[in-house]
Structure 1
Amino acid sequence: MTARRNFKRQVRARAAKTGESYTSALRHFLPTPSGDVMPEARNPKSVRLAVAQTLVREDPRDVEALRESGREVRALMREASVQGARIVHFPEGAICFPSKFVMSVDGPDEVGPADWDRCQWLVLQSELVAIAELARELRLWTVIPSVHRLTGPNRPHNSLYVISDRGEVVTRYDERLLSKTKVSYMYSPGVSPVTFEVDAVRFGCLLGMEIHYPELFAEYENLDVDCVLLSTSGTPGNTTAQAQVQGHAAFNSYWVSLSGPAQDSVTAPTGIVAPNGDWLARCPADGSPSVAVANLDDSSEAATSALTYARPWRRESRSGLYTEHQVSDPRSEDRTAAF
């Protein structure tokens, strides 16, 4: 408690000297690995993120549907740019989320191996190219999921492309923990996490049913990300999934952007969760394609406590801190010892 009081006194002293608010002054202080809180200058991180919800269409044979999805994505990119976003994040299936029944060689009533020759690959590719060109024009980083074709006879990846503000694909995340149907009949799983940076803010990527795997979110915490971008379509639009996202953000003390179908927004609107587990911004819960925008600012009130105290402490406590305090005592080892 003494260290904490001393720390707060130093922050208040800086605020009084500079005229900053307490929160602004706080960003210039960091805890040391030993747990003693000492002042240390640091550069605050901040980026403006837009998260989108789109109408997800399920037939990759339908050329006009693919074109309409592309137009919708680009319209939302323009809206995000108007609202000052530096990066925009789209849901799984933003251009198309191929139906397991539409793709099944045993369909349309039974699920079987997917026939990927049914996909209009050239149309899909042309829409992605147009999206990349607009990203360059708007100077807007764009994170857009799509199917990534592999060399036959390998099944494609279910992927998430990261397009820079220069219109270039800088990396791609491939969904790793697929649903049973996806891995049995439709896609090849990915093998590794993916991170990238925009204005010094580090992002990690997840897809689909990976919302249900806390170890993947913990993995990104170990990789020192500031925000996880989770694109989904297969997750039911319910309050349980929403609570999971809030939990992942709070447990790992980073932002989580959840992008899902506009069709699900009545019960589960797309949005951005702060490192303390609170929703920062959400799209309308009315089924409409839309974007929500928020600043990811690590000096904000919603972030400082989680980033300054919770995250460093959890890391220290997991590093073997408790070993030196463990004792050998008969009353400790006897689990049936009386009161």
Structure 2
Amino acid sequence: MTAHRNFKRRVRARAAKTGESYTAALRHFRPTPSGEPDMPEKTLRIAVAQSTVHEDPTDPTLLRGSGAEVRDLMRRAADAGARLVHFTEGAICFPSKRVMSELGPDEIGPSDWSRADWTVLQEELDRIAALSGELRVWTVIPSVHQLPDGTRPHNSMYVVSDQGTVVARYDERMLSTTKITWMYTPGTEPVTFEVDGYRFGLALGLDVLFPELFTEYDRLDVDGVLVSYCSHIPQNEHIGVQSRGIAVTNTYWICLAAAANPDGGLESSVIDPRGNLVAEGPADGQPGIAVTDVARADVTTIGREFRSRTRDRVSS
């Protein structure tokens, strides 16, 4: 009965937020012929990838190698029954400030993005999108997003549907000093998307260190946030700790995609709304995937309603 009441509470909360009728809101959660919430909610199988990261976007061989590895991991995820596969920041390329510096490599200066092989980069992204359609899986793949007129690019995450179409793009907002000074244009907005009735937010790079971004996603009623993170600095265990804290603070799922790096101190992982690790990538830092089933948790609804009531009381 508790699960039934919590389910109805979620439906009513959506109806109040969107202005839909209860019946219309119910179809968002579970479309059934009768409209009655009498069947268990469907879980969603997701895969988080741990992939090799290269740093030179001027080298077409490296770009093609990264693309090939991404597609191999996509196939492994599909073979495991995943509906969504999530990749790390820099899965195609994580451009080095020294490689890109117009003064470098010995001196850091503005990045010369004209040197990037944009043609090969787009070809690899197109192949990834096409394979998503063939495999009927959703793919979240970070990449550099080119902007017109010489404007610095975004550091981005593309969401590719199971039809092979890019349906959303998120741009990293909380850029590091190096990124914002020499390399990228920051993003400005949160982004959400839905797979089989589950809603996800997106975070990239140093976004993971800023709790307010995840509070924002809590208010956007997500079931989880997909976080892609890569760093040149070794020993990144604290990012795993930070991610578990985000999950339990907001009582939603966190999927953390990290680089394949034996010295990084960080594995890709999936964290449940209570902060428990439920799946992890290879502990030796090698490329691979971790697969698990995501389910809606009563603690998400209860925690979200508690936070909302408390915020309303404090602000009134």
CA RMSD, Structure 1 to Structure 2 (Å): 2.1
The TM-score normalised by the length of structure 1 is 0.81
Task: Look up the match of 1:246.
Answer: 244
What CA deviation, in whole Å up to 9, does each residue of 1:5-53 have, x standing for no partner? xxxxx55xxxxxxxxxxxx7676564888xxxxxx94873521111001
Task: Look up the match of 2:28.
Answer: none
What CA deviation, in whole Å up to 9, does each residue of 1:134-187 have, x standing for no partner? 000000100000000001220011010000000000010011110011011101
Per-residue deviation at 1:251?
0.5
Per-residue deviation at 1:110?
1.6
Task: Look up the match of 1:317.
Answer: 310
Correspondence list, 1:7-86, <5 A: 10-11=1-2, 28=7, 30=9, 41=37, 44=41, 46-86=43-83
Per-residue deviation at 1:94?
0.3
Task: Look up the match of 1:91.
Answer: 88
Per-residue deviation at 1:131?
0.4
Per-residue deviation at 1:265?
7.1
The counterpart of 1:100, out of the listed 94, 97, 102, is 97
Distance 1:106 1:250, change over 3 A: same
Per-residue deviation at 1:311?
2.4
Q: Structure 1 residue runs of 4+, over 4 Å off?
A: 24-33, 40-43
Correspondence list, 1:1-339, <5 A: 10-11=1-2, 28=7, 30=9, 41=37, 44=41, 46-234=43-231, 236=233, 237-263=235-261, 267-298=265-296, 303-304=297-298, 306-320=299-313
| Distance across 2 between alignment mates of 1:73 and 1:265 | 21
8 Å contact kept, 2:111–2:183: yes
Distance 1:129 1:240, change over 3 A: same
The TM-score normalised by the length of structure 2 is 0.87
For the residue of structure 1 that corresponds to 2:181, the secondary structure is helix
Per-residue deviation at 1:268?
1.1
| Distance across 2 between alignment mates of 1:28 and 1:183 | 43
85-94 or 284-293, which deviates more: 284-293
Distance 1:178 1:45, change over 3 A: farther
Distance 1:313 1:185, change over 3 A: same
For the residue of structure 1 that corresponds to 2:68, the secondary structure is helix
What CA deviation, in whole Å up to 9, does each residue of 1:214-256 have, x standing for no partner? 0000000011111101101127543221111000000001001
Could you tell me which amino acid in structure 1 is paired with residue 175 of structure 2?
Answer: L
8 Å contact kept, 1:195–1:205: yes
Task: Look up the match of 1:18.
Answer: none
Could you tell me which amino acid in structure 1 is paired with residue 131 of structure 2?
Answer: L
Distance 1:278 1:152, change over 3 A: same
| Distance across 1 between alignment mates of 2:75 and 2:99 | 32
Distance 1:45 1:215, change over 3 A: farther
| Distance across 2 between alignment mates of 1:148 and 1:28 | 39
8 Å contact kept, 1:259–1:270: yes
8 Å contact kept, 1:27–1:44: no
Could you tell me which amino acid in structure 1 is paired with residue 287 of structure 2?
Answer: P
| Distance across 1 between alignment mates of 2:301 and 2:220 | 17
| Distance across 2 between alignment mates of 1:152 and 1:46 | 44
| Distance across 1 between alignment mates of 2:263 and 2:49 | 11
Task: Look up the match of 1:36.
Answer: none
Gaps of 5+ in 1: 1-9, 12-23, 34-39, 324-339
